[in-house]
Amino acid sequence: MNRSIKKVAVLGSGIMGSRIACHFANIGVEVLLLDIVPKELNAAEQAKGLTLEHPAVRNRIVNDAFQNTLKASPAALYSAKFASRVKLGNFDDNLAEIKNYDWVLEAIVERLDIKRSLFEKVDALRKPGTLITSNTSGIPIHLMSEGRSDDFQKHFCGTHFFNPPRYLKLFEVIPGPQTDKSILDFLMHYGDLYLGKTTVLCKDTPGFIANRLGIHALVETIRVAAEMGLTVEEVDKLTGPVVGRPKSGTFRLSDVVGLDTTVNVCNNLVQMQHDESRAAFELPPIMAKLMENKWLGDKTGQGFYKKSKDEKGKTLILALDLQTLEYKPSVKVKFETLEKTKAIDDLKKRFGILLKGTDKAGEFYRRTFASGFRYASNRIPEISDELYRIDQAICAGFGWEMGLFTTWDAIGVKNMVGIMESLQLNPATWVYEMLEAGNESFYKVQDGKKLYYDIPSKSYKAIPGQESFIILENKSQNIIWKNAGASIYDLGDGIAGVEFHSKMNTFGAEVVEGLNRAYAIAEKDFRGLVVGNDSNEAFSAGANLAMLFMFAIEQEYDEINLMIAQFQQTMMRARYSSIPVVTAAHSLALGGGCELNLHSDKVVAHAETYMGLVELGVGLIPAGGGTKEMALRCSDLYQTGDPELNILQTAFMNIAQAKVSTSAQEAVEMNYIKADRDQIVLNRSRLIAEAKQAAVDLAENGYTQPKHRTDIKVQGKTGLALFKAGIGSMRMANYISDHDAKIADKLAYVICGGDLSYPQNVTEQYLLDLEREAFLSLTGEKKTLERIQGLLTGGKPPRN
């Protein structure tokens, strides 16, 4: 059956239901969101004289839940406008409407009896053939579908989103005993392509894959920490970015999730009689104590951390002393072993040092890694037949950069087995068999493909689904040129790729050289160029200001002028080279990172792209063609019939406020991404492959080198008068400083095309020259230099 999903009914509007509804709305699906009818009137309803029959009362639970979700941060929707795609209702009045929906997704309270009773009603009302799935985190799938019709059972399975569903990448699909294979195939494809998720097929085992291993890691960490006398802050430091995991580490994460949620999962898992490490899920005494005190984390105002105020009213973060259960001001943590890894950017290279540490950090890593690796190796084939699924699930579900088996490879499998044996935490037999047969790693890369060790066949196999991904890390044999800031690849099919590898992929001299070299190589030997990278942090965080700062301090203005001119031309070549240039934008694309996207022939952006021209924050204006380009884009919009000055004012304000989009969709609304030309991709892993395809399509559709524009309509004095009045009143009201006003004046001057006496057409070069002059004059300003220095020294630029 050719299935398409246009309408989804989400049952339950709690934390998960409302957010899942928003994510479907994000991808353009029409949603019906239902919840229970309240049994009693609240005080406000009583005061208004409403009855339980009033529609506002009947939908109160779903209304309140959805409104709270819309206010939540980080936002559940890509754009506030998408809220209108969600229709609200209640189970009593609206459940029958599910017959018009393609997929019914249950996300109500985690109780088997309640879920079963709802499924009985759904079975009677749904149209045969519709998907019906549960978001349960741990109730066995087979228990939920017991007693239901054949058609229900064939179309039923678990679809487990992680919280928050928009941001966490994992989507676990769990078959029930009767689930039709075509339904599983469909959901695996839909999850990957449409929901943008790392979609992992699980077995119907307790906690499925990610929670089983993630919660094991959490409780083991807490246990080892307690035994070693480590503090909450020490553990969070050891289990954070230094090992490629989120900043929240272990205890802060627990506070965010809510200790009760973790404890519920533990209580389920501890009942598994077959699990050799069952005892690990017995609550460590510290967790039991916190539960007793209702110190559950953010939801109860305190957990392992607590916010407080000092005598001056400044916020203080207190951390729980695990021995005395008293809160104390949080302290900065230092370990000799961590110091040694500070200069190592490559995560994989850090593990060798971390595991060898002779201080407490080293011991902590040896103990927790040994226990985690042993547990993971023993879970095969129980929870998964293949080791790569375990890594995929833990990375996508918990935001780890490297999964358990990948980390083990980085340490060296044999080396780690030695450590494990010394701690009497031996791995599963298959690991020994793998090593004995001369296979020394769980993964390897061959011909640009990532292979995993397949246990039953005792051989390496390609991880399926890679055909749709291009992961540059696996393509090192395709590098055709490289310097310290950039690498140029042959991506195949006549397309070259350029990747930056500076810190946060910022533009320094080497990156600019790499980009220019890439245009030249692509123009000579290829038919298209993709600019992209594998980073999860930044497409590019903009220009590296260190060099600029140095020249400015030494008043080397000729050098600065040359540097900006070269940067402008580098951006312009993205559009005016003889081959199509496609940028694969994602995460942060700021300042110069935004300007490069503004100039490429096509942007293929991940849905989570945070794009903005942020130069004003450091006392500058966008001068890599960014201000020019927004003047040009406004000029192109003047035909739409909207007042021209309104269009220009929106662009001006976006730059003046250094506004950054909170999604690719918002970047469309800011006119940084073009809805009619660019493309938004939901799955981050597909981004470079999609960008490459876009370059192929442009080339095959007869790409011709564009001509420089000479028809940009600028407003001159008419626009300047408006902006000057606005800036003046903002200054008068003290919303902005004198220096802010000075920079905003310069921005207004450039975006209006100078003080021409009437609106007229100008060229791109004319605007680029204005940009450059304004930028150059600002580098001579003391307050601008103070802002840049503030940023470079790791803090925030001062608002001077």
Question: Residue with CB nearest ligand NAD?
Answer: 14
Cis amide leading into 74 (omega within 30)? yes
Nearest C-alpha neighbor of 286 from the set 329, 342, 223: 223
Task: Choose, from 30, 106, 110, 172, the residue flagged as catalytic.
Answer: 172
- For residues 176-214, one letter each, b for 16 or more C-beta atoms within 10 angstroms of the residue's C-beta and e for the rest, the string is bebbbeebeebbbebbbbbbbbbbbbbebbbbbbbbbbb
CB of 258 to ligand NAD, least distance (A): 8
Q: Backbone phi, then psi, for 240, in 5-degree steps? A: -105, -145
Residue 668: how many other CB atoms lie within 10 Å? 22
Q: In the complex with ligand NAD, which residue's Cβ is closer, 114 or 325?
A: 114
Choices 103-111, 188-196, 214-222, 772-780 (CB under 6 A): range interacting with ligand NAD: 103-111
CB of 297 to ligand NAD, least distance (A): 12
* 211 flagged as catalytic: yes
Binding mask 144-163 for ligand NAD (x = CB under 6 A): ------------------xx
* 729 flagged as catalytic: no
Say whether residue 253 binds ligand NAD (CB under 6 A).
no
Among 8, 27, 31, 35, binds ligand NAD (CB under 6 A): 35
CB of 143 to ligand NAD, least distance (A): 13
**Rounded CA Rg of the chain:** 28
Cα distance from N-terminal residue to C-terminal residue, the chain: 64
Among 9, 12, 202, 371, binds ligand NAD (CB under 6 A): 12
Among 88, 108, 296, 768, binds ligand NAD (CB under 6 A): 108
Cis amide leading into 622 (omega within 30)? no
Task: Choose, from 160, 216, 586, 739, the residue flagged as catalytic.
Answer: 160
134 Cβ contact partners less than 8 Å away, ≥ 6 residues apart = 105, 106, 107, 115, 141, 144, 156, 157, 158, 159
Cis amide leading into 164 (omega within 30)? yes
Choices 7-15, 41-49, 176-184, 294-302 (CB under 6 A): range interacting with ligand NAD: 7-15
CB of 129 to ligand NAD, least distance (A): 24
Distance of CA 706 to the CA centre of its chain: 34
Among 9, 10, 13, 173, binds ligand NAD (CB under 6 A): 13
Say whether residue 409 binds ligand NAD (CB under 6 A).
no
Say whether residue 140 binds ligand NAD (CB under 6 A).
no
Choices 8-16, 606-614, 648-656, 715-723 (CB under 6 A): range interacting with ligand NAD: 8-16
345 three-class SS: coil
Among 30, 110, 391, 608, binds ligand NAD (CB under 6 A): 110
Tokens linked to 377: 């190796």
* 600 flagged as catalytic: no
97 within 8 A of 91, measured Cβ to Cβ:
no
Which letter does DSSP use for residue 37 in this model? P
* 233 flagged as catalytic: no
The two counts, helices (H) then strands (E), for the chain are 33, 24
Say whether residue 261 binds ligand NAD (CB under 6 A).
yes
Using alpha carbons, list the distances in angstroms from residue 743 to 356, 461, 703, 747, 779. Answer: 52, 58, 39, 6, 11
Q: In the complex with ligand NAD, which residue's Cβ is closer, 137 or 685?
A: 137
Task: Choose, from 26, 59, 90, 137, the residue flagged as catalytic.
Answer: 137
Say whether residue 109 binds ligand NAD (CB under 6 A).
yes
Choices 10-18, 46-54, 219-227, 318-326 (CB under 6 A): range interacting with ligand NAD: 10-18
Q: Backbone phi, then psi, for 106, in 5-degree steps? A: -90, 130
Say whether residue 136 binds ligand NAD (CB under 6 A).
yes
CB of 119 to ligand NAD, least distance (A): 11
Say whether residue 14 binds ligand NAD (CB under 6 A).
yes
Interface contacts to ligand NAD, rule CB under 6 A = 12-17, 35-36, 61, 65, 107-110, 114, 118, 135-137, 162-163, 261
Catalytic residues: 137, 160, 172, 211
